Amino acid sequence: MDSPASHKPPSALGGIPQPRPILLLDIDDVLALNTHYNGRHARKAIYRPDEAPADLYEKLFSSQAVEALNTLLLEFKPRVVLTTSWLMLLTREEFLDLFRKTGVSIADGDLHEHWDAPEDYGVGRAVAIAKWLADNHQGENFLILDDVCSGAALVDSPWQRAGHVVLCEENVGFRSGLLDAARKAMHTPFLQTTRWKPWELRR
């Protein structure tokens, strides 16, 4: 069993202040299983709220995924960067409103100053994340929370081998069984050897 200290955020360990870790967060198959509703329903509800299903915000995200993510957010208070394809659908303020309505504990102060890592046309998730890290990462511990489909290029990547990646199963999402791996990632120091340029693989 893990000791109580192992679940504390990095800043609480050893009495040495550390920067808040970074959470690079996907939504599909992490929070949203698309069983009932998806991102397009969320977008439509913004512009036509009177037509939104009564249970939209109750069923848009998996309740077990929200509970597990909130546990992680409470323990580590990471700065959140969104990597999801939903970036094509919602603005920053719309995401914050959505998180509030669905019970996800991400508020304005929890989003990173550079809060999004969108994929350019024809460029995959790994490239988008690598470019974000190259431009904005200051050596903080980080966790990439994605799924096995959109995060396929992350499998056996230097980030995964170093312990920075947790991939959720398709149609299952984030759950309590993945918390220990996520906690470990939040505690894993960044090393220069884990810098990776996946776009070089396309040459």
Domains defined along the chain, listed by start: 18-202 (3.40.50)
Average pLDDT over residues 143-147: 97
Q: Which of 160, 143, 173, 146 is nearest to 65 (CA)?
A: 173
Averaged pLDDT of the chain: 89
Highest mean pLDDT out of 103-107, 132-136, 151-155: 103-107
What's the pLDDT at 201? 44
Average pLDDT over residues 180-187: 96
What's the pLDDT at 192? 59
Q: Which of 188, 170, 168 is nearest to 178 (CA)?
A: 168
Asked if the model's pLDDT at residue 59 lies above 90, the reply is yes
Pinpoint the alpha helices (H) of 17-62. Answer: 39-47, 56-59
* Cα diameter, the chain: 52
Asked if the model's pLDDT at residue 133 lies above 60, the reply is yes
Average pLDDT over residues 44-73: 97
Asked if the model's pLDDT at residue 24 lies above 70, the reply is yes
What's the pLDDT at 164? 95
Q: In the chain, at which residue ranges do the beta strands (DSSP E only) sit?
A: 22-25, 79-82, 111-116, 142-147, 165-168
Asked if the model's pLDDT at residue 117 lies above 80, the reply is yes
At residue 189 the predicted structure's pLDDT band, cuts being 50, 70 and 90, is confident
- pLDDT tens per residue, range 160-173: 999 999 999 999 99
- Do the Cβ atoms of 159 and 144 come closer than 8 Å? yes
What's the pLDDT at 103? 98
What b-and-e string marks burial along 119-144, b requiring 16 or more CB atoms within 10 Å of the CB? beeeebbbbbbbbbbeeebeebbbbb
Strand, coil or helix: 156: coil
Asked if the model's pLDDT at residue 13 lies above 60, the reply is no
What's the pLDDT at 190? 80
What's the pLDDT at 123? 73
